[in-house]
Amino acid sequence: MLQKIQAVKGMNDLLPEESGRWEWFEDTVRDVARQYGYRLVRAPVVEPTNLFVRSIGEVTDIVEKEMYSFEDSLNGDKLTLRPELTAGIIRSAIEHSWLHAGPQRVWAMGPVFRHERPQKGRYRQFYQFDVEALGFEGPDVDAEQIVMLARIWKRLGLTDVELEINSIGDAAERRVHREKLIAHFEAHADVLDEDARRRLHSNPLRILDTKNPAMQSMVEAAPKLLDVLGEASLAHFDGLKRLLNEAGLGFRINPRLVRGLDYYNRTVFEWVTPIDGRTLTITGGGRYDGLFEQLGGKPTPGVGFGMGIERVMLKLAEVAAAMPVHAPDAYVAHLDAPAFANEVAERLRDAGKAVVSHAGGGSFKSQMKKADASGARWAIIIGEAERDSRSVTLKPLREEGQQQLISIDQLADAL
Ligand code: ATP
Ligand code: MG
């Protein structure tokens, strides 16, 4: 026998028995996005490597070590499997000038790729639900997206999710803070780990994000960006906090929240939740008012978020044991009457019903087992007598009740 081929490490299959929950999730977020006036956009999975280097930033985890990059074997172009969805959307907005008539609210969903060490909730291919509001100064639209997320958690039945927010100001404020930060880290050089020492001058802000326990107290004591914010940034942040308060949303200000991508400014936020005993981020987002210019577009403010769908699925599996399966309304069992069985099934589908028509032959007994296992509410049984009288035997599978012979003209109504 030939050796079996296995999936790439860290890249998962969605199996049929798991897909009900994914479909339910996707239907839910699609519907909420529509409720808030966000429209679907799709950008390619493969983009020029430069797009991500210029947007996400050279000294970030993603660009430094997580991208799947390769050369086009025909022309040598440098290409990358997208590690997130925002950059492609902004590229598309600039390329096709789809903001010419004013601001736009858009969303996207799909796979992204990061070469990380796989573990629970961390994969090399994973899915994001992504929402972007382009051309809005905020903070009203910043709050809108956070409120929208709260609605999504509610629709999904998630209650123990927590919101953390912060403001990381503008570029000038971050420069001032950066000097203070470097001075603080240099004064505590003895506790810096290798990663932090490497980042000290390239991206000191990211050191605040460290998960190294030995560095926690030193990082807690570091100068806070919030303390150096100017009037405009403070007003924006105050506006956001006020809107969230008025919407009745609780939040925690986390001065160390800086996010892993370089393009953010002002508002940053994360939603976190315990999964399997660990606190994981299920959504991260923020404002990126400089990103359009960084990618060669006209100055355009923007704000958005990315949701890690696998992590939400892990959470849903913990809190909701049973998930509505997409069971058919009826299962058609028949003995040697494929044409009539199809006619019956098609008529019911015309009436909007979901109908599985038995394929592959076999006895009535084995077909009825399959009908039962399908979760269908009704079995529709077709033998010679039924076929000859253009009728079917209708048998309830989920509740008590007599089976009855019924003409196919009355069948859709009977269901
Ligand atoms: P982390 O700090 O966990 O690495 P991040 O800051 O890199 O997260 P973002 O770039 O903000 O994550 O991506 C948005 C969301 O996608 C995250 O909040 C998380 O839920 C999810 N996510 C990020 N990386 C992975 C991964 N490797 N596998 C599965 N989900 C992920
Ligand atoms: Mg990461």
What SS3 string covers 277-308? CEEEEEEEEEECCCHHHHCCCCCCCEEEEEEE
Ligand 1 centroid to residue 63 C-alpha, Å: 14
Which of these, 146, 153, 113, lies nearest to 131 by C-alpha position?
Answer: 146
Residues 6+ away with beta carbon under 8 Å from 208: 181, 219, 222, 256, 258
Q: Mean pLDDT for the chain?
A: 93
- Check residues 147 and 200 and name the one with the higher pLDDT: 147
Share of the chain above pLDDT 70, in %: 98
pLDDT number for residue 157? 92
The side-by-side arrangement of strands in the sheet containing 330-334 is 355-357, 330-334, 378-382, 391-396, 404-407
Please choose from 62, 263, 281 the residue to mutate so as to test ligand 1's pocket, defined by most ligand atoms within 8 A of CB.
Answer: 281
pLDDT at 256: 87
Q: Which residues surround ligand 2, an ion (CB under 5 A)?
A: 260
Q: Are 263 and 297 in contact (CB under 8 A)?
A: no
Q: What are the φ and ψ backbone dihedral angles of 61, each rounded to 5 degrees?
A: -55, -45
Domains of the chain, CATH where assigned: 16-169+229-319 (3.30.930.10), 330-414 (3.40.50.800)
As a whole number, mean pLDDT of residues 59-82 equals 94
Q: For residue 260, which of 278, 297, 234, 286 has the smallest C-alpha distance?
A: 286
Q: Are 257 and 164 in contact (CB under 8 A)?
A: yes
Per-residue pLDDT tens over the stretch 238-262? 999 999 999 999 999 999 888 766 7
Q: Which of 326, 282, 289, 285 is nearest to 308 (CA)?
A: 282
C-alpha 128/C-alpha 283 separation (Å) is 9
DSSP-derived secondary structure for 67-103:
-EEEE-TTT--EEEE-SSSHHHHHHHHHHTTTTTTS-
Residues 6+ apart with CB under 8 A from 370: 331, 333, 358
Residues 6+ apart with CB under 8 A from 137: 301
Indicate if the pLDDT at residue 322 is higher than 60: no
Does the pLDDT value for residue 323 go beyond 90? no
- pLDDT confidence of residue 324: 60
Å from CA of 410 to ligand 2 middle:
58
Question: Region 191-217: what's the mean pLDDT?
Answer: 88
Q: Residue 322 in 3-state DSSP?
A: coil
Q: Ligand 1: which atom is nearest the Cα of residue 209?
A: 2
Instruction: Kindly report which listed range (43-52, 71-80, 176-185, 232-241) carries the lowest average pLDDT score.
Output: 176-185
pTM equals 0.90
Distance separating alpha carbons of residues 206 and 189, to the nearest angstrom? 16
Omega before residue 139 within 30° of 0, cis: yes
Give the C-alpha separation, 246 to 223, whole Å. Answer: 30
The vertex-66 CA angle with 65 and 67, nearest 5°, equals 105
Name the residue at shortest CA distance from atom 29 of ligand 1. 122
> pLDDT tens across 58-70, in order?
888 899 899 999 9
3-state DSSP call for residue 217? helix
Ligand 1 pocket, Cβ-based, cut-off 6 angstroms: 84, 114, 116, 121-123, 126, 128, 259-260, 281-284, 306, 308, 310-311
What would the mean pLDDT of 33-44 be, rounded to a whole number? 98
- Look at residues 105, 6, 87, 75 and name the one whose alpha carbon lies nearest to residue 45: 87
User: How much distance in Å is there from the Cα of 122 to the middle of ligand 2?
Assistant: 9
